[in-house]
Amino acid sequence: MGFNATSKFRMRLLNEDTGRTDPVSVQIGLDGLKLSDANSGRSMRSYKLGDISRWRAAPTSLILHTRTPMDVEESQVTLQGDEHATRSLLDVLTCSCMQLAELLQSKQAGNEENETANSLHALVAGNGKKKTKLPAVEDVEYWHSPEKDGWMQCQGDYLGTWRKRWFVLKQGYLFRFMNDKVSESVKPRGVVDLSKIQDVKPASGIINRPNSIQLKTAAGGSVAYICESETDMVLWLSALQESIQRIIKLVAGVEDEPRAPSSSAANKSSSTTKRGGGGSSAEWVHQLERNFESMSARGGSP
C-alpha cells in the first residue's frame, strides 16, 4: 500500500476529562492526521505531521503528543483500538513521517522545512522519542523530588475558564495535574517544555489578573497562570528562570548534566522575600523583570 495516499482507520478517541471514548475515523497521509466523527463524518481535529512532538504506543492504544509553533503546552490525543488496528496505525504514521522527511529534504526546502524534516527523522529514529541533550519528558520522574510544586490557576482549552491545578517543575519541564495526588501511575494533563520558552514575566498588566505570570515562546505563543499569592508568584518566577538558565547552559555545553533537584533556590528566594519588610516582594518582581529583559537583550545567554 502506498503511504503517499491517505489511509483510514476506525479507532476510539479517549476524552481525558470524562474517561469516555467516542468512535472516530483516523486519516493519515503526508498532509497530516485528521480525526472525524465515525458516525456523522464531521471533522473534529487535524494535525500536521511536523507538529507531532512524540508518541507512545501500547498494544491497544496510541498516545500522540502535539505542539504547533504557537502552542506552549503539548496537546495529548489518545486513540484506542484492537491490537491489529493500533499496530497498523503506528506503521502508517511512521512511514508517513519518514516519507515526508525525505520529500522535504529532496526538494531543497527552506530552513523551516529542513527543521521539520530533521524533527521527523529524529522522531522515527527514536521510536516516538527525540534524542536531545536535555532529558526526555518520559524519563523525568515528576512524582518525587520536584524543584518546585504548588497550586496555580490555568485556563481551559475550549471554554477559557480559570481552573485550579497542581503544577510540578522538574528538569526543564512544567507538568500540570488535576490535583496534588501525584504518583508514578498518574499521568500529567499537560506539559510545558521550558526549552521552548523565550520569556517568563509577571502578567498582571497583560491579563488583568493579580499574581499572574506569562510564559511565551519565540513564535509568539503564550500561556498564563495565576499564583496563590504575590510571594508565590515571586517564587514561581525565580524557579522558572533558574530552570531556563540551566537549560541554556546545558545546551551550550557549560554543564555536563542537569543539577540534582534542590530546594535551596526556593529557600533562598523565600528568605530574600522576607527581608526588608512589606515592599520586598515587589522589589523582587522588578528585579526579575530586569533579569528577563537583560537575558532577552543578550539573546538568551546567561
Q: What is the pLDDT of residue 220?
A: 85
Alpha carbon distance 115, 121 (integer Å):
10
CA atoms within 13 A on the CB side of 100: 29
Q: What pTM was estimated for this model as a whole?
A: 0.62
Taking residues 220-241, report their average pLDDT. Answer: 95
β partners of residue 13: 22, 79
What the block records as the C-alpha cell of 170 is 522538574
Q: Residue 226: pLDDT above 50?
A: yes
Q: Residue 29: pLDDT above 80?
A: yes
Alpha carbon distance 149, 182 (integer Å):
11
Q: Which of 129-133, 146-150, 185-189, 289-293 has the highest mean pLDDT?
A: 146-150
Q: For 13-17, 148-152, 204-208, which range has the lowest pLDDT when averaged over its residues?
A: 13-17
What the block records as the C-alpha cell of 203 is 502578567
β partners of residue 117: none
Taking residues 118-132, report their average pLDDT. Answer: 78
- Residue 117 pLDDT class (50, 70, 90 cuts): confident
- Residue 150 pLDDT class (50, 70, 90 cuts): very high
Contact 164, 266 (CB under 8 A): no
Looking only at Cα atoms, what is the longest distance across the chain? 71
Q: What is the pLDDT of residue 277?
A: 40
Query: Over pLDDT 90: what percentage of the chain?
Result: 51
Alpha carbon distance 27, 9 (integer Å):
7
* pLDDT per residue as tens digits for the range 2-17: 334 578 999 999 987 7
β partners of residue 26: 9, 35
Q: What is the pLDDT of residue 184?
A: 94
Q: What is the pLDDT of residue 154?
A: 95
- Residue 122 pLDDT class (50, 70, 90 cuts): confident
